[in-house]
Each structure stands twice: as C-alpha cells, then as structure tokens.
C-alpha cells in the first residue's frame, strides 16, 4: 500500500491538460492520435522537435512526468505517446481548422522588437497545452517565479512545409526576432489576444476541432414534394367528340349542373 505522502509525490509528477478545450476533446485525443499513426502520421506538424525545444524543456520542466490521465488508459502504452506528440497533434488540429494560420506562418513579418533593427522573420504560434504541479525555473528566470503552465511554440519549416516544435515556456514567450501568434480557443473563458496587429487575416479565437452546429440550429431535411396520382387530379371534361355547334351548349349545361349540386349541399 502506498503511503499518503508517497501518493502525493506521485501526483506531483503528472502533467494535466490546461483545460480550455472541451472534456470530449481531451477524451478523444488518444484515439484520434492512434488513427493518425495508422494513416501515416500528421499532415501539418512534425513530431520531431528542435534541439532548442529539448534544451528549454530540460531547463523549465522536470523530467519523467507522467502524461495526463486520458493517456493512462489500458492498451495505450504500446504506442509510446510523448508530451511532444500530444502537443503536435493539438497543433495539427489547429492548422486543420485554420489554414489561414499556416499561410501567415509562412510569411516574413516585422520582428517582435521592431526597434532592434532585426530582419523580418516568420512568426511563431503558441497555445497553452498543459499544467504541472511540479514547476521548475532555471536561474535566468527566477525573477519570474515558478511556472506551472506548459506552452509550446511552433514555427513553420519551409523545407518540409510542416510546423515544428521550436521552444516551450511558461505561457507565451517574448521573442525579439519574431512575432508570436497567441492562440485562445473558442471554448476558453480567458480573454482573447488581438492578433490582427500581426496579420489582418488572423481571428481573435481559434477552433481546435470543427465546430458543431447546435441541434436547435440544424435544419430539418425537407421532405420531397409528393405528387398526386394523375387519376386523382380533377380532369376537365373533353367535349371534342361533340359537333362544334353542340360543344358550348354541353359545357354550359355541365357548369349549370355543378352549380345546382353546390347549392344543394348548402341547403
């Protein structure tokens, strides 16, 4: 039996999702990642991070922390999921729903610090992915306090056409060389960043999965118009078999009979 203080220590080693996406999103993420593996990988994001990311992760987060509980399900161990692969899948979802974001990431824009005389550079994109109860801060960041949030930053690799995990920080970092597009999900309760200063095509909030249309807004399928059998459609009497002189007389007689029958039903 695990002692209470040992149990608490184990819990401290866990990552958890940041929580501004829906519970269903986090719950279905492992199965969608398995599907992506079976279909040959992610279309928009590379699972291999940069060395700079690995260095910053080592500086800012403790090693060997467990994945969120959604990835502790029996049978998932065989896939060897990593924290980097999960963040890559989340970024892949983001790009899938916002192709305009990938377009902006491919453009050279003014640097983050426009006073430093640096050249234009492609921006990065960042979103809050995880929290940890076991924060760590390296010596250069002590003045910022302990950080419990894990925020990946992705940039576009022009050679592969895919996003790559470039660095990670306690919430979005300030980069003098490039601007950072800060992603606020549509389901988040936090205030959104205004990214239009970076590019006018960027929205204020982002979807990680295709937005579902509320049931009350869904249109009922239109029923096909039913045609009345020809046998039930009132037919105009044909008088063409009568001599021309008799046709109008027969038509007038039939009209008079119709009017009499109609009057009888009213009496």
Other CB atoms closer than 10 Å to residue 225's CB: what's the count?
5
Domain edges within the chain: 10-210, 238-266
Phi/psi class of residue 32: alpha, beta or left (left: φ > 0; alpha: ψ in -120 to 50)? alpha
| The total number of residues written for the chain in this structure | 267
Do the strands 149-157 and 162-169 form a parallel or antiparallel pair, or are they unpaired?
A: antiparallel
Main-chain phi, psi angles of 218, to 5 degrees = -75, 135
Paired strand residues for 180: 124
Instruction: Work out whether the CA dihedral 175, 179, 183, 189 comes out positive or negative.
Output: positive
Residues 191-200: contacts with CB under 8 Å, at least 24 apart: 198/104, 198/109, 198/123, 199/104, 199/107, 199/109, 199/123
Against a cut of 0.95, is the pTM above it?
no
pLDDT tens, residue order, the chain (267 aa): 444 444 444 445 689 999 999 999 999 999 999 999 999 999 999 999 999 999 999 988 888 899 999 999 988 989 999 999 999 999 999 999 999 999 999 999 999 888 878 999 999 999 999 998 877 766 655 555 567 899 999 999 999 999 999 999 988 888 899 999 999 999 999 999 999 999 999 999 999 997 654 445 445 555 555 555 555 444 556 656 666 666 676 677 777 666 666 666 555
157 forms beta bridges with 162
């Amino acid at each position: 039996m695990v002692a209470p203080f040992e149990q608490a220590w184990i819990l401290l080693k866990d990552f958890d999702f940041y929580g501004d996406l829906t519970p269903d999103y986090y719950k279905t993420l492992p199965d969608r990642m398995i599907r992506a593996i079976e279909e040959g990988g992610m279309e928009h994001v590379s699972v291999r991070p940069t060395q700079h990311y690995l260095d910053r992760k080592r500086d800012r987060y403790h090693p060997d922390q467990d994945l969120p509980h959604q990835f502790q399900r029996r049978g998932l161990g065989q896939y060897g999921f990593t924290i980097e692969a999960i963040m890559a899948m989340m970024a892949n979802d983001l790009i899938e729903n916002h192709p305009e974001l990938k377009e902006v990431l491919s453009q050279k824009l003014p640097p983050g610090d426009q006073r430093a005389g640096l050249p234009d550079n492609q921006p990065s994109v960042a979103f809050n992915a995880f929290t940890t109860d076991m924060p760590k801060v390296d010596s250069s960041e002590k003045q910022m306090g302990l950080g419990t949030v894990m925020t990946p930053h992705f940039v576009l690799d022009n050679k592969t056409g895919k996003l790559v995990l470039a660095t990670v920080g306690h919430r979005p970092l300030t980069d003098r060389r490039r601007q950072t597009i800060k992603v606020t999900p549509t389901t988040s309760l936090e205030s959104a960043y205004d990214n239009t200063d970076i590019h006018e095509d960027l929205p204020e909030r982002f979807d990680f999965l295709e937005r579902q249309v509320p049931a009350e807004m869904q249109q009922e399928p239109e029923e096909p118009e039913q045609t009345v059998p020809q046998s039930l459609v009132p037919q105009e009497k044909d008088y063409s078999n009568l001599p021309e002189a008799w046709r109008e007389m027969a038509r007038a007689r039939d009209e008079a009979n119709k009017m009499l029958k109609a009057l009888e039903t009213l009496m």
